[in-house]
């Protein structure tokens, strides 16, 4: 069954179809939530709440082929709301898995602090591009911004990361 068929079945009340859709995305949702919320317990709660909200709002989804994008958007909005609600001020303690394998502990902590201090639009693009391996086109759809804007944000974020980390932005460039 295609994604569109599964979504239409779920919109028609087929709970197994909805479960199948969520099940296929659960680990991706968890990684994204952990990147935003910085701990596993909050990430699990975010995935649960996202699942609940998606179930309640599924009939409002107009384009079934964009189910995954729609689901991630719900998750990101929830995570941002949670961060505001809890008014967290501590930097990220972990760098998501792809980068953490290549960096020692001091570098991971430093990178986490830098990423945590980026503007939200830059942080979104970095997390989705490099931690979730999303294409610029997918990020563009998810954030509902033109692809050119997403490219600009990515370049600005990378420039900021290089500048703050001292790699590529100084007198040795």
Provide the whole-model pTM: 0.64
CA distances from 68 to 4, 87, 111, 162 (A): 11, 28, 28, 31
Give the integer Cα–Cα distance in Å for 143 and 153. Answer: 12
- Tens digits of per-residue pLDDT, 100-123? 455 566 666 677 778 888 898 999
pLDDT confidence bin for 29, thresholds 50/70/90: very high
| pLDDT over 60 at 95, yes or no | no
pLDDT confidence bin for 136, thresholds 50/70/90: very high
Mean pLDDT of 7-14: 94
Give the integer Cα–Cα distance in Å for 100 and 49. Answer: 28
pLDDT confidence bin for 47, thresholds 50/70/90: very high
What share of the chain in percent tops pLDDT 70? 83
- Tens digits of per-residue pLDDT, 49-92? 999 999 999 999 999 999 999 999 999 999 988 888 875 444 44
Domains and CATH numbers, the chain: 1-90 (1.10.1740.10), 91-173 (1.10.10.10)
pLDDT at position 167: 62
Which is higher by pLDDT, 167 or 135?
135
């Amino acid at each position: 069954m295609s994604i569109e068929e599964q979504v239409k079945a779920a919109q028609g009340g087929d709970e197994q179809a909805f479960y199948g859709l969520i099940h296929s995305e659960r680990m991706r949702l968890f990684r994204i939530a952990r990147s935003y919320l910085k701990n596993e317990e909050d990430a699990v709660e975010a995935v649960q709440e996202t699942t609940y909200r998606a179930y309640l709002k599924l009939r409002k989804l107009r384009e079934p082929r964009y189910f995954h994008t729609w689901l991630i958007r719900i998750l990101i909005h929830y995570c941002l709301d949670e961060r505001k609600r809890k008014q967290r001020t501590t930097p990220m303690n972990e760098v998501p898995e792809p980068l953490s394998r290549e960096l020692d502990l001091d570098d991971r902590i430093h990178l986490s602090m830098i990423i945590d201090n980026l503007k939200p639009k830059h942080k979104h693009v970095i997390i989705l591009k490099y931690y979730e391996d999303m294409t610029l086109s997918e990020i563009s759809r998810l954030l509902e911004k033109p692809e050119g804007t997403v490219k600009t944000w990515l370049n600005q974020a990378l420039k900021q990361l290089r500048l703050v980390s001292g790699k590529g932005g100084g007198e040795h460039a």
